[in-house]
Structure 1
Amino acid sequence: MAQFYKPQARTSQPQRLTDQLVVELDHQGRGVVRTPKGVKFVAGALPTERIAITVQGKHEAHLDRIQTSSTQRIEPPCAFYEQCGGCDLQHLELDAQRAHKQQVVIEMLAKFAQVEAQQWLPPLTGDAWNYRRRARLAVHYDAKRHQLKVGFRAPKSKQICVIDHCLVLAESLNKLLQPLQQLLPQLALVKQLGHVELIEFEHQVVVLLRVKQWPDEQDLNQLQEFATAHQVSLWCESDQQLAPLVANEPLSYRTVGTSISCLPTNFMQAHRQLSEQMVKQALVWLDIQPNEKVLELYAGSGNFTLPLALAGAQVTAIEGVATMVEQLKANAQNAQVSIEAFCCDLEQPWHRQSWRQDGYGKALLDPARAGAPHAIHEVAQLQPQRIVYISCAPDTLARDAKVLKEHGYQLKQAQVVDMFPQTHHIEVMTRFERE
């Protein structure tokens, strides 16, 4: 039999490098290192540090050892910090976190829009710990071992880091972590449980269970006992319905001058203090005059809408989720203010919309991470004198700012809102004026 030469498969060894200088942080809070093999991004590394790394893939490397520490480095207080994917900047002192976030926005605006803010205001800040009033817990049930894991995802992984306490969660939510880990394995629904959300509202805490099938009678009894014992409201959500199993009071959260009634699935800003501060700043920037026409996009349940109307504006509010539009209308009625609210996909052409008209003196946008790729063109064509744009994604903000610049707007003011301390996530407010 003929034999053919077959070369052995090459097995690449991990490449370890020492004495690497971290030159800056990228927009995800990772250290940037320029190695002989190209630029590498290193989670956990800080500028000016000398580090040892192991190259992992084309662009990333693992931090093996810190040879020379940054003066801005602090010891992360969380016991789960290295395993949990929730926070990624606990090792950087707080003032430096905020300065980094502002610098990210400055660089994004310059790079992608050639726009520079004429004035940066000091960051809006609140509590750096125990601030988060909403959290989604990942769950996984191992049917063979009859074990349930409840916690947060590990970095870049589907693995679950089991936690019994989280330093950024509101204490009212922290108190539920261990009791839930004891309760859930006892339920029949644990086998088809999607995730668990914990939400702190104005007058109560909600536990929201995402399920494939509605709980049976035995599960309902146990859930009701849990809700009574821990003084929480308990809701379930499936593909077919969303309903309370135990409800104490209507759900609401505070905004400037009033409260917003909502469902547990409605959007609500994460930071328990900064949501209202952000609304106050928007009111200052918009400088509402009596009966001034204001267009608000991505209005939600009325977090900005109601304060604008209470300040005397004639608000036209647009939201893409029908249930939130109905909630917005009800909230306006309860606050005894008159608004116009419409349900519309803002990323579709506006020409047939009755509310697309001239005469809006000012506009406010608070889109999701995708920004307003179509809506920003429509807004610019309406030519409001002043636009307040609130963003949780500096890259899409920069893209949309370029459109405003092309239509004659200047970026007068900008301000970081430290909505997510201990993480790289950025919230920023901007005020544009038409020249």
Structure 2
Amino acid sequence: MPVTVVESLDHEGRGVARVGGKAVFIEGALPGERVEYEVLRSRPNYEQAHTLRVLRPSAQRVAPPCPHYGVCGGCSMQHLDAVAQAAVKQRVLEDALWHVGRVRPGIVHAAIHGPAWGYRERARLTVRLVPSQGGVLLGFHQRRSSYVADMQVCPVLPPHVAAMLPALHELVAGLSIADRLPQIELACGDEATVLVFRILRPLTQADTRRLLAFAGQWQVRAWVQPEGPDSACPLQPDDEPGLYYTLPEFGLRMEYRPTDFTQVNARINRLLIRRAMQLLAPSAGERIADLFCGLGNFSLPIARAGAQVVGVEGSDALVRRAGENAGRNGLAANARFYAANLFEATEDSLAALGPLDKMLIDPPREGAIAVVKALGAQCRPARIVYVSCNPATLARDAAVLVHEKGYALRGVGIANMFPQTSHVESVALFEYAGERPAGASRV
């Protein structure tokens, strides 16, 4: 088998080496290591491989604690020290900004850290009934595969959830619809945990009794979802989800349904909001747009500072939830929410939001290219805070902001939202560097 020395890590956490003029991407290898590897796929310009033996280990290598590591696709970086993971992600972000967008930040902010384990408060577990493999398989997908990595333990899940995995296997195996239950969605709030069972066939009375007994034993709420996310409902009609998370720094309580989008890591989310508010610096008298606002995760902290917030989100359900949260937190007068498809944003649609002093953008992985292209004379906020979950689309959008729209990238930094994975969450500050129309902003 070939042997090489690894030079760096790529955006997926794979070791990168150069062999015979080709880039070789080696799973499980770290920079500086000398490894023996096996090629899995060969192409004219690159090869994909995995590590067979580490002949000279890195000082940053650690023993992965999860017995499913290497098979399960949920984590890819458990073999790297958690602090080093954040440094790698920062380099991935800076490399993307330069190589994709040809932009460099004025400053690099310190990485936002949190717990390395037990942090994942949202998850979708795939379920398969495979008699040839012993019955019910339950877990995340295997690496590079649609097959299920059957998990009996999972150290990134909260301990009380990880502890119930063996019992969850037994529960599903005992249901009449074990072959028609493809997914279990997990949502943990500050005081409640909900399991949403995706069912493709109605439950029997015996199934319902089993689910309720499991919920009582493990102190969770059981919901069922027969169709799309809006069809999710409690197994017992009066069993409200009781899901909420708090933002103590801003005196906020955010309520949500188990199928609503929320961040998977509550502690990092609080720190991310703090960083975003420091960069945005909202104040009374300002009008600020929060685009892709969800249920108000950033909108309400902005409103709490006294600014007037215009939240825009593509999901009608989340717009309703944001408005309800604003009302419950006494901020209805400071926050208005609207449903719109921001992937089709135009100069006119942004202008319709009214004069804006600042803007926060928190898009999904696809980024916000339509929004940044629509910025112009009619909508040119002095400051934009961009929260990103994909360095490539952030870099693409940053190129438009800097090279076409007159903004400067003042600073950027990562938040380690998903420790043990290659996922990179970041927050960037852009400021308009050109002349703005008189009276357009009070910043």
Q: Above 0.5 in TM-score?
A: yes
Distance between the aligned counterparts of 2:93 and 2:400, measured in 1? 17
Distance between the aligned counterparts of 1:143 and 1:28, measured in 2? 33
> Residue 441 of structure 2 corresponds to which residue in structure 1?
none
State how 1:414-429 maps to structure 2 within 5 Å: 414-429=412-427
* Length-normalised TM-score, structure 1: 0.92
Q: Does 1:264 align with 2:254?
A: no
State how 1:111-150 maps to structure 2 within 5 Å: 111-142=99-130, 147-150=135-138
* Distance change (3 Å), C-alpha of 1:350 and 1:379: same
> Residue 11 of structure 1 corresponds to which residue in structure 2?
none
Distance between the aligned counterparts of 2:275 and 2:129, measured in 1? 45
> Residue 326 of structure 1 corresponds to which residue in structure 2?
320
Question: What's the CA shift string for 1:15-73, capped at 9, x where partnerless?
Answer: x312x111111111101111126211000011111111222222212212111111211
When structure 1 is superposed on structure 2, of 401-410 and 60-69 the one drifting more is 60-69
> Residue 95 of structure 1 corresponds to which residue in structure 2?
83
When structure 1 is superposed on structure 2, of 345-354 and 199-208 the one drifting more is 345-354
Distance between the aligned counterparts of 1:155 and 1:388, measured in 2? 34
Identity, % of aligned pairs? 34
Q: Does 1:279 align with 2:242?
A: no
Q: Does 1:251 align with 2:243?
A: yes
Distance between the aligned counterparts of 2:351 and 2:174, measured in 1? 52
> Residue 12 of structure 1 corresponds to which residue in structure 2?
none
Counterpart of 1:210, as a letter, is: R
Distance between the aligned counterparts of 2:164 and 2:325, measured in 1? 30
Please report how far the alpha carbon of residue 79 of structure 1 lies from its aligned counterpart in structure 2 after TM superposition. 1.6
Please report how far the alpha carbon of residue 143 of structure 1 lies from its aligned counterpart in structure 2 after TM superposition. 5.7
* Distance change (3 Å), C-alpha of 1:37 and 1:159: farther
* Distance change (3 Å), C-alpha of 1:163 and 1:354: closer
Distance between the aligned counterparts of 1:53 and 1:349, measured in 2? 47
Please report how far the alpha carbon of residue 92 of structure 1 lies from its aligned counterpart in structure 2 after TM superposition. 1.0
Looking at CA atoms only, which structure, 1 or 2, has the larger radius of gyration? Answer: 1
Distance between the aligned counterparts of 1:105 and 1:371, measured in 2? 14
State how 1:173-252 maps to structure 2 within 5 Å: 173-239=161-227, 241-246=231-236, 247=239, 250-252=242-244
Please report how far the alpha carbon of residue 347 of structure 1 lies from its aligned counterpart in structure 2 after TM superposition. 1.2
> Residue 400 of structure 2 corresponds to which residue in structure 1?
403
* Among 324, 327, 336, the residue aligned to 2:330: 336
Please report how far the alpha carbon of residue 422 of structure 1 lies from its aligned counterpart in structure 2 after TM superposition. 1.0
Count how many residue pairs are aligned between Structure 1 and Structure 2: 419
Please report how far the alpha carbon of residue 163 of structure 1 lies from its aligned counterpart in structure 2 after TM superposition. 1.5
* SS in structure 2 at match of 1:105: helix
> Residue 8 of structure 1 corresponds to which residue in structure 2?
none
* Distance change (3 Å), C-alpha of 1:355 and 1:265: farther
Distance between the aligned counterparts of 2:101 and 2:358, measured in 1? 22
* Residues 113 and 415, structure 2, Cα contact 8 Å, conserved in 1: yes
Counterpart of 2:373, as a letter, is: H
Please report how far the alpha carbon of residue 249 of structure 1 lies from its aligned counterpart in structure 2 after TM superposition. 5.0
Counterpart of 1:133, as a letter, is: E
RMSD: 1.7
Distance between the aligned counterparts of 2:376 and 2:154, measured in 1? 43
Please report how far the alpha carbon of residue 380 of structure 1 lies from its aligned counterpart in structure 2 after TM superposition. 5.2
> Residue 7 of structure 1 corresponds to which residue in structure 2?
none
> Residue 38 of structure 1 corresponds to which residue in structure 2?
22
Question: What's the CA shift string for 1:92-145, capped at 9, x where partnerless?
Answer: 112211111101111111111111111112111111111111121111112678
* SS in structure 2 at match of 1:395: helix
* Distance change (3 Å), C-alpha of 1:155 and 1:144: closer
